[in-house]
């Protein structure tokens, strides 16, 4: 199996920036995904990284370092609707393995 | 609206009963997946199918079976339910099974085994 670690919980203030880290150990790495999941809802796709570097998409950015087995998701200009769980998922041997998720709470 | 549909939304089931969770997609995706999500453990892959007529085992396949008779449907069957199978089950699909495309998830089925 894969070993994927991310913090359990994070809290931040509206308008601030939060960085969610994800470390992984895997063989046959073929990309890393970030998903957002609001409570009681389905996960939805946020970003995909397969090469090293930063991918920016509006208020959300994702970074990957394959040599370090490390990724982060950066959420800027936090809004109340960003309160959700954020799932790091590693593609290995064409199957996704998910971390347990990081619950982000945005306070006014 | 194109997407992926799961049924039922929720179910309470007696242990030992047989249960089939339904999943249908209309996006003409080749690959489909079943996951279970448990508190503190994240999503775990049960079974997958890269194309109609083929299936494969994921991380936690025991006690579950699947079939893929056509592109659109991917039912998950619990032959004899046990309490440890109480979970939220998500069906997902992606354009191909190569792993470099995002998976689209259904709204989930909340299953309680008593």
Q: List chain B pLDDT tens, one digit each, 114 residues.
A: 569 999 999 999 999 999 999 999 999 999 999 999 998 888 999 999 999 999 999 999 999 999 999 999 999 999 999 999 999 999 999 999 888 899 999 999 999 999
Q: Is the pLDDT of residue A1 over 60?
A: no
Give tens-digit pLDDT for A7-59: 999 999 999 999 999 999 988 888 999 999 999 999 999 999 999 999 999 99
Does the CB of B44 have a partner CB in chain A at under 8 Å? Answer: yes
Hey, are the CB atoms on B43 and A98 less than 8 Å from each other? yes
Confidence at residue A19, expressed as pLDDT on a 0 to 100 scale = 98
Question: Which residues fall within 8 angstroms of residue A32, CB to CB, at 6 or more apart?
Answer: A22, A24, A48, A49, A50, A62, A64, A71, A88, A89, A90, A91
Hey, are the CB atoms on A33 and B98 less than 8 Å from each other? no
Q: How many CB pairs under 8 A join A and B?
A: 54
Confidence at residue A93, expressed as pLDDT on a 0 to 100 scale = 82
Pull the structure tokens for residue B19: 């249960």
Q: In chain A, pLDDT over 70 holds for what percent of residues?
A: 98
- Which of B4, B42, B55, B101 to probe by mutation at the A interface, max A CB count within 10 Å? B42
Hey, are the CB atoms on B42 and A99 less than 8 Å from each other? yes
Numbered residues of chain A with Cβ closer than 8 Å to any chain B Cβ: 1, 4, 30-31, 33, 41-45, 48, 50, 87, 89, 91, 93-101
* Residues A56, B97: Cα–Cα separation, whole Å: 25
Pull the structure tokens for residue B80: 């004899």
Pull the structure tokens for residue B89: 């089950």
């Amino acid at each position: 199996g894969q070993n994927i670690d991310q913090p359990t919980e994070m809290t931040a203030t509206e308008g601030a920036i939060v960085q969610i880290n994800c470390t992984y150990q895997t063989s046959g790495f073929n990309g890393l995904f970030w998903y957002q999941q609001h409570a009681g809802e389905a996960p939805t796709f946020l970003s995909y990284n397969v090469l090293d570097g930063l991918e920016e998409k509006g208020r959300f950015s994702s970074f990957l370092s394959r040599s370090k087995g490390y990724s982060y998701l950066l959420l800027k200009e936090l809004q109340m609707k960003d309160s959700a769980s954020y799932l790091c998922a590693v593609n290995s041997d064409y199957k996704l393995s998910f971390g347990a998720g990081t619950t982000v709470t945005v306070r006014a | 609206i194109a997407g992926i549909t799961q049924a039922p939304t929720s179910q309470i089931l007696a242990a030992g009963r047989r249960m089939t969770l339904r999943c249908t997609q209309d996006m003409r995706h080749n690959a489909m997946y079943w996951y279970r999500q448990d508190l503190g453990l994240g999503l775990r892959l049960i079974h997958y199918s890269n194309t109609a007529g083929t299936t494969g085992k994921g991380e936690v396949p025991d006690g579950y079976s699947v079939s893929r008779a056509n592109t659109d449907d991917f039912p998950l069957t619990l032959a004899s339910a046990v309490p440890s199978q109480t979970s939220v089950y998500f069906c997902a699909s992606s354009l191909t099974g190569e792993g470099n495309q995002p998976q689209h998830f259904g709204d989930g089925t909340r299953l309680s085994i008593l």
